[in-house]
Amino acid sequence: MDTRYDVELVSVTKRYGATLAVDAISLRIPHASYCCLLGPSGCGKTTTLRMIAGHEAVTDGDILIHGENVSDLPPVRRGTAMMFQSYALFPHMSCLDNVAFSLKMRGVPKAERHKRAREFLELVHMESYAQRLPAQLSGGQQQRIALARALITRPRVLLLDEPLSALDPFLRGKVREELKRLQRELQITFIHVTHSQDEAMALADLMVVMQDGHIRQCAHPREVFERPISPFIARFIGSHNVLRTNQGPVAVRADRCRLGAVEDGPHVSGKVIAVEYQGSAVRVAVVTEAGDEVSALVPDQHFYRNPAEPGQPATLVWSPEDTHALVDA
């Protein structure tokens, strides 16, 4: 058994009739990692998560968890727990009984299951809410109860299906910190499906970007952000300009671009079409003479020394070392 990897997908395919949802993907997730599956709607990320959980059958290929082939095992025998987007708490049960429910189904005596449930409520900082009903909790608190309920079975792998999407932006950031803390403390692998690039950047040790049922890039978030391999990745991750040259497409990060003049170095010229104040920086969007839309993320103090307005001509300039060649796909 190869203990370096908690989860391995080997040429995993999923078909729904004539529709190919996931096309022979292979992936190795190292021990005790936080892995985010990321991509646009319909890319296959949720189907992949559900196949790992056992809620969808694999058409072809194999899924290994801690070296064991679980492709034909039911969900309860895979050593995984899944946290759903809707949380799916029982409305008539207290938080304590919601967390303890899976232990009750396994025949654990009441005193023991409540003792363990209180331990996991404490782990997610919800011990003082043990006797409340889900309706008496905020969305973020319900999310923590659902997380404790998933963790109490001591899974080898925790699967999370867009767990933060129902939360407001401030709370999303706080719960994101909690998820990362728990993953590090428990030293188990989390596999987290999200459509948010920012969420994946903040959480992942391993970012898996999917498109049309394929894995297009799999690496640490910093590598994906700084060295996207294709125009699709560069555009999807955001904050990159994809430029057409005689040598093929290149990417330049928007925060490495500035407003300048043609003699300043590599550049594109065009007309300003939008100016967006973003606090510490101002995004200046430009449509080039070739019809492409590019942007510069300019520090606010620099922008306001010589502000630009929509309709004005503009030249975006960058340093030669900031260009990154892409695969033309």
Q: Kindly state whether residues 252 and 210 are assigned to the same domain.
A: no
Q: Is residue 232 in some structural domain? A: no
Q: Kindly state whether residues 52 and 164 are assigned to the same domain.
A: yes
d(CA 234, CA 105) in angstroms, rounded, equals 47
- Average pLDDT rounded to a whole number, residues 239-263: 90
What range defines the domain where residue 301 resides? 241-325
pTM of the model: 0.90
At 173-219, the pLDDT tens digits run 888 898 999 999 999 999 999 999 999 999 999 999 999 999 999 99
Q: Kindly state whether residues 250 and 176 are assigned to the same domain.
A: no
Domain C-terminal end among 203, 226, 249: 226
Q: Kindly state whether residues 218 and 246 are assigned to the same domain.
A: no
Chain-centroid distance of CA 99 in Å reads 26
What pLDDT score was predicted for residue 139? 83
Domain C-terminal end among 202, 226, 250: 226
Residue 2 has pLDDT above 70, yes or no: no
At 96-113, the pLDDT tens digits run 999 999 899 889 999 999
Which CATH number belongs to the domain containing residue 317 in this structure?
2.40.50.140
At 25-61, the pLDDT tens digits run 999 999 999 999 999 999 999 999 999 999 999 999 9
Domains identified in the chain, total number? 2
Domain C-terminal end among 226, 253, 281: 226
d(CA 108, CA 79) in angstroms, rounded, equals 18
What pLDDT score was predicted for residue 245? 78
